[in-house]
Amino acid sequence: MLELYTWDPNSNSGKPIFTLKEKGVAFEYHFVDLLKFEQHSPDYVKINPSGTVPTLIHDGVVFTESTPLCEYIDGAFDGPPLRPEDPLQRYRMRWWCWYIDNRFAPALSVIGWHSFMGPMVRKKDPAEIERLIARIPTKERRIAWSTAVKSGFTEEQLENARNRVNDGVQLMNSRLAESDHLAGPDYSLADTIAFANAYALPVSVPQFANEDKAPHYMNWLNRIYRRPATKEAFAMGRTQLAERAMEVIRKLED
């Protein structure tokens, strides 16, 4: 039995959804609503004590941390391989996964909190927000969530995040000028992890992600949006993020 506890097909939450769909593996989807802080609920923390998503349970074994979790999925199930056999291409796959997770995604998170998550959460009653933050399992994450929800980000922080996102788009664009996919000629987990984070950039940062400044990135994005697995993953979305993906598809088709 395979169970996936996660949010929408977005960022870390989306990585295993895209991976499972690419592999053609059936799974039971447990929607964990981040906007309601359900990842910190007592029932969920019993499954994943860190209070993060996603969590995969396969035959009673619990897997967390989205990128290694996706490698497990690729190795444990039949379907198209998502890790290259060629040593150089596998290195590239893992390098891109590391870069997206450690450099690119944190900058995107700042922009995402500023434009989407923060405003949505701040609609809640302040007392309810305090209660929800208080039950976050770790002190570090309580501080991070409290800062993001209550204080927001300075213009300097936002500008720094935008610049780092621009750097990432240009880096992907340069690599994709050499190859159809990030690790090599074939689709791999590098594309899954990057796309889960970068799928909406033509809408969120159109000044960087456009045909003039990043044509190879835009072509790559268009190809991945057209993959059946991608369409199936976004069809599972339950928030405005899935609607944003549809907006990008319309933009690419114009």
- Over residues 164-222, the pLDDT tens digits come to 999 999 999 999 999 999 999 999 999 999 999 999 999 889 999 999 999 999 999 99
Biggest CA-to-CA distance, the chain: 54
Of residues 114, 190, 189, 215, the one with CA closest to residue 158: 114
For residue 245, give every residue at least 6 positions away whose Cβ sits within 8 Å of its Cβ, in sequence order, or none.
9, 199, 200, 225, 234, 237
Any idea what the CATH number is for the domain that residue 46 is in?
3.40.30.10
**Ranges under pLDDT 70 in the chain:** 116-124, 148, 150-151, 254
pLDDT, averaged across the chain: 91
| 3 state SS of 29 | strand
- pLDDT at residue 254 in the model: 67
Asked whether residue 7 is domain-assigned, the answer is yes
Asked whether residue 13 is domain-assigned, the answer is yes
Asked whether residue 92 is domain-assigned, the answer is no
- Show the domain range for 45: 2-76
For the whole model, what pTM was predicted? Answer: 0.90
Looking at residue 54, its amino acid is P
Asked whether residue 8 is domain-assigned, the answer is yes
Of residues 221, 179, 214, 180, the one with CA closest to residue 198: 221
CA distance 84 to 195: 18
